[in-house]
Structure 1
Amino acid sequence: MIRIRRARPADATAIAEVHVDCWRNTYAGILPGTYLSGLSIMRIAAGYQRGMIERRNGEALFVAVAPDGPAQTGSRIVGFASGARCRQRWSGLDAEGEIQTLYVQEDWRDLGIGRRLMRATAAHLAAIGCSSAMLWVLSDNPSRWFYQRLEGRTVASGKVRVDDKGVPQTAFCWDPIEKLLRATASANGH
């Protein structure tokens, strides 16, 4: 059974491994190959660990933990999500909370893990007083439909710089945040 729990600083390396794996699988052909091959698990882990310790802007990180191996004697992190108060105000976006990351390893998709991670993050944002939430997704991300299925409303587009290349991105918003909480509620316990 997959559990969703608040991440701990000791989880940083496993979180970074999921991050790198997801970026290399999802963004191949979208982002430069040299950039993807140069991703550093150690550097990314340090950033996540620092974020969990500092908790700037009410930041929280949640992990999906799955049993490891047929004997299920251990566990491993197969996905994660994070959110905080918006890092900056964007033109035309007045959302108070921001879902900063959502990654689920390819073999663990379509099991409701992303929805459960989104729900945990949205519940956290609501608990710290955010009445709305938004996120940015690369416009060519093949999983973009997921946010549309969760009733995210497209509210902006722009470009983010990755390896000196402007990459199109799209912003989705849930206002009020209860829309996201309702859209992520489970009818079947997944």
Structure 2
Amino acid sequence: MNIPKIRPFMDSDAEVLHQLIYQTIDDAYTGVYGPKAIQYFKDYHSSSHILDDARQGQTMVLELNERIVGTGTICEQNIRRVFISPAFQGRSFGRMVMETLEKKALLMGLHHLNLDASLSSQAFYQHLGYRTREKGYIQVSDDERLDYFYMEKALNASFTDDNEIVSLPGEHIVTRKAEPTDAPAMATINVATWRDSYGKFLPRQLMAELSCSQKQAEIEDFFARWEENQAVALVMESKSGEMMAFIMAGKNHRQDLRYTGEIYNLHVAPAFQSQGIGRYLVYRVCQAFRQRNWNTMMVWALAENPSRPFYEKLGGRVIAQDIGEYRGFTTPVIAYGWNELPICF
């Protein structure tokens, strides 16, 4: 079965999207709008405008069998340029694009979206929960105008524990709430990432003594203190059930550092790194923190951790340095903080 994939826009997609949009305009708007209104639509969706919006906001591309068949853009609170190739309409692809854009809006901290709907697309957006606020028009010539609907929707920003399937490069991944029964698999990933990333600079004795049973006990203790920590924990696994990554977070325990939330552990199995998985898990945690009105966050990282630039790329800034202790061994640690949670991924 061929599964559609949604990915971020690349500049090289602009001309393909330009042609797709022109084809869709001709197919959907002929007989609904006059020729001058149709030309207005085409001018508005030029390649340069596609690139401008992609750079100002986030444009997503829907692919099927490596062919681009749809697109959609979010710029601030506005949904723009949602088009599905005529040959691929009627397969819920438009809904898929809209749901992706709405999830991005929630991750950006938005709770309300606006869009301008054409005469032929109003019903589609109504089915997705958008309401018509008012009707507008653009006078495109002395004898012709372009009518449209200004629509809006309040987003449900509640964080749920429902499973979610996301598309990341090369893999369809299930994201779900972590359970105590996941502790053994989480411990296995934890040990693997420690050995892969920390083995070159942590003491040999510590690495030699490192075991899955130790890490499992620590993770089980985290679950035992779930309410106390006001915890959030997610795992990512392949559709075959193989665990690929996990994140553990909750309230900040360092009262001298005035940040509300804290990421305690984030580990991606070595075989699945550099695919956007860690980034996605961080933003899912941010979504949970926002639901609690926690607007600041921090994380501790080993000073020699080669992955520290990951947090810097997400906007974290160094807020503290200390000496960490683990099983009798000490090592320098660095804290990163966010005065505002990251808003996009």
1:8 offset after TM fit, Å?
A: 1.0
Q: What's the counterpart of residue 89 of structure 1?
A: 255
Q: What's the counterpart of residue 109 of structure 1?
A: 273
Q: What's the counterpart of residue 207 of structure 2?
A: 36
Find 2:218's aligned residue among 33, 41, 47.
Answer: 47
Distance 1:87 1:12, change over 3 A: same
**Aligned letter for 1:27?**
Y
Find 1:125's aligned residue among 264, 268, 289.
Answer: 289
Residues 206 and 329 of structure 2 are in contact (CA less than 8 Å); yes or no, is this contact kept in structure 1? no
**Aligned letter for 2:173?**
I
1:61 offset after TM fit, Å?
A: 1.1
Distance 1:46 1:163, change over 3 A: closer
Which residues in structure 2 correspond to 1:36-75 (within 5 Å)?
Answer: 36-55=207-226, 56-67=228-239, 74-75=240-241
Greater Rg, structure 1 or structure 2? 2
- Any unmatched runs of 5+ in structure 1? 68-73
Q: 1:34-59: CA deviations, max 9, x gaps?
A: 21221231232233234224312211
* Higher RCO structure, 1 or 2 (CA under 8 Å, sep 6+): 1
User: Aligned residues, how many?
Assistant: 173
Q: Using the alignment, how far apart are the partners of 1:158 and 1:48 within structure 2?
A: 23
Q: What's the counterpart of residue 70 of structure 1?
A: none
Q: What's the counterpart of residue 156 of structure 1?
A: 320
Q: Is the deviation greater in 152-161 or in 53-62?
A: 53-62
Q: What's the counterpart of residue 77 of structure 1?
A: 243
Task: For residue 75 of structure 1, give the secondary structure of its aligned residue in structure 2.
Answer: coil
Superposition TM-score, scaled by structure 1 size: 0.84
Residues 4 and 116 of structure 1 are in contact (CA less than 8 Å); yes or no, is this contact kept in structure 2? no
Q: What's the counterpart of residue 15 of structure 1?
A: 186
Task: For residue 294 of structure 2, give the secondary structure of its aligned residue in structure 1.
Answer: coil
Q: Using the alignment, how far apart are the partners of 2:307 and 2:209 within structure 1?
A: 23
1:127 offset after TM fit, Å?
A: 2.3
Q: 1:71-130: CA deviations, max 9, x gaps?
A: xxx31111111111112223xx21011111111111111111000111112222222332
Distance 1:166 1:52, change over 3 A: closer
- Does 2:100 align with 1:100? no
Q: Is the deviation greater in 31-40 or in 135-144?
A: 31-40
Q: Using the alignment, how far apart are the partners of 1:5 and 1:161 within structure 2?
A: 31
1:133 offset after TM fit, Å?
A: 0.2
Residues 52 and 60 of structure 1 are in contact (CA less than 8 Å); yes or no, is this contact kept in structure 2? no
Residues 151 and 174 of structure 1 are in contact (CA less than 8 Å); yes or no, is this contact kept in structure 2? yes
**Aligned letter for 1:18?**
I
Task: For residue 305 of structure 2, give the secondary structure of its aligned residue in structure 1.
Answer: coil
- Any unmatched runs of 5+ in structure 2? 1-171
1:32 offset after TM fit, Å?
A: 1.0
Distance 1:166 1:89, change over 3 A: same
